[in-house]
Amino acid sequence: MNARIDTFVAPPCAEDIAILYQDDAILLINKPSGLLSLSGKNPLNLDSVHYRLVQQFPTALLLHRLDFGTSGVMIVALNKAVAANINRQFQARTVVKTYQAILDGHVAADEGDIELPIAKDPINFPKLKVCFETGKAASSHFQVLERRIGPDTTRVLFTPSTGRTHQLRIHSAGMGHPILGCDLYGTSDSQRMAGRLLLHATGVDFDHPVSGGRIFGISECPF
Catalytic center residues: 67
Q: What gap in Å lies between CA 187 and CA 49, rounded to an integer?
A: 29
Q: What gap in Å lies between CA 66 and CA 69, rounded to an integer?
A: 8
Residue 77 CA, chain-centre distance (Å), reads 18
Q: What gap in Å lies between CA 74 and CA 30, rounded to an integer?
A: 6
Spatial CB neighbours of 222, under 8 Å, sequence gap ≥ 6: 71, 200
Residue of 105, 196, 81 lying closest to 155 (CA atoms): 105
Q: What gap in Å lies between CA 160 and CA 67, rounded to an integer?
A: 15
Q: What gap in Å lies between CA 122 and CA 109, rounded to an integer?
A: 33
